[in-house]
Structure 1
Amino acid sequence: MPATAIDLDTLPGHHIRRLHQIAVAVFLQETEDHGITPVQFAALQAVANTPGLDQRSLAARIGLDTSTLANVVDRLETRGWMQRNASPEDKRVRLLTLTHEGEQLLAGVLPDMQRAQERILAPLPKAERKEFMRMLRTLVDANNELSRAPSTSQ
């Protein structure tokens, strides 16, 4: 093996990238009837959890840069699932709420999203799933500031 050869199988980043690809694929398979992406789901769920959230806070909560988040919100608004409302305190700030259609979509997609999460964890014995999630959160929390868009949901 050449001196510069590295076994990709020993690199956590390689496996994390692959797991991300798999997680997105499984999510899209399970939710295909709804036509929603994982990022759109995260945005909708965060706004459902905190109605009236502003766009900057939403971006920070789900770990997206503000320009990407603006594009996501544009798509959600175009589809009639989310709406922007001017803040009474500052007309430049847009507060986000789900429309009735957005609430219905979210309620309908939740079982499919849960099934996707279960499929992702299915190869692990049930006794190890909580520990895996604990370790995953530890890695994300400890490395959050290294992200191009650190999350404030820690």
Structure 2
Amino acid sequence: MLTDLFLQMPGHYIRRAQQVSSAYFTEELADSELTSVQMVALVAIVDSPGIDATRLSEIIDFDRATIGGVVDRLERKGLIQRVVNPEDKRSKVMRATPAGKALLDVSLPRVQRVQERILAPLSPEDRETFLRLIKTVIGRQTD
């Protein structure tokens, strides 16, 4: 049966894991009104004041063609500001606003709870194995 075949495919389980992760994120951070991509982008901007959109997309592994929409939404929400790059007037760089930093301070413990919930079914050893394997699958160097 084709259903049985598809239920054995890793892509199916990756999709389901993403659904679980998204549901936990929504439950824990609904009042932040941020998506997980917006959250990681805000983290990167706080960590790297003066970053440009190209570098941001590289750091967070997000498509360069669509990072502009993420940045636009963060700016509209008053969480970041874009200013002309003092080193290259043709480009803009980003900095988190005080509101963005405050939201991040409140949100980081919640983001940590999301991670704990995702890994909760696994033993400590399995958690390490899972993280090592998922990094390998996506082409990231393991620690």
**Normalising to structure 1: TM-score of the pair?**
0.85
C-alpha separation in 2, matches of 1:76 and 1:84: 10
Give, as a single letter, the amino acid of the residue that structure 1 aligns with 2:96: L
User: Following superposition, which runs of at least 4 residues in structure 1 exceed 4 angstroms of deviation?
Assistant: none
Write out per-residue CA displacement over residues 59-105 of structure 1, whole angstroms, 9 at most, x where no aligned residue: 12112222321111111001100111111121121111100100000
* Paired position in structure 2 for 1:136: 134
Q: Which runs of 5+ in 1 are unaligned?
A: 143-154
Once the two structures are TM-superposed, the CA of residue 9 in structure 1 deviates from its matched residue by: 2.2
Distance 1:25 1:5, change over 3 A: closer
Give, as a single letter, the amino acid of the residue that structure 1 aligns with 2:76: T
* Paired position in structure 2 for 1:94: 92
Distance 1:57 1:126, change over 3 A: same
C-alpha separation in 2, matches of 1:25 and 1:93: 36
* Paired position in structure 1 for 2:102: 104
**SS of residue paired to 1:67:** coil
Q: Share of identical aligned residues, percent?
A: 42
Q: Of 54, 57, 64, which residue of structure 1 is paired with 2:52?
A: 54
Give, as a single letter, the amino acid of the residue that structure 2 aligns with 1:26: Y
* Paired position in structure 1 for 2:13: 15
C-alpha separation in 1, matches of 2:86 and 2:112: 36
* Paired position in structure 1 for 2:69: 71
Write out per-residue CA displacement over residues 134-153 of structure 1, whole angstroms, 9 at most, x where no aligned residue: 111111116xxxxxxxxxxx
Q: Of 117, 125, 133, which residue of structure 2 is paired with 1:119?
A: 117
C-alpha separation in 2, matches of 1:44 and 1:72: 10
**Normalising to structure 2: TM-score of the pair?**
0.91
* Paired position in structure 1 for 2:29: 31
C-alpha separation in 2, matches of 1:45 and 1:100: 13
Q: Which runs of 5+ in 2 are unaligned?
A: none
Give, as a single letter, the amino acid of the residue that structure 2 aligns with 1:92: R
C-alpha separation in 2, matches of 1:92 and 1:120: 42
Larger relative contact order (C-alpha < 8 A, sep ≥ 6)?
1
Once the two structures are TM-superposed, the CA of residue 116 in structure 1 deviates from its matched residue by: 0.6
Aligned length: 141
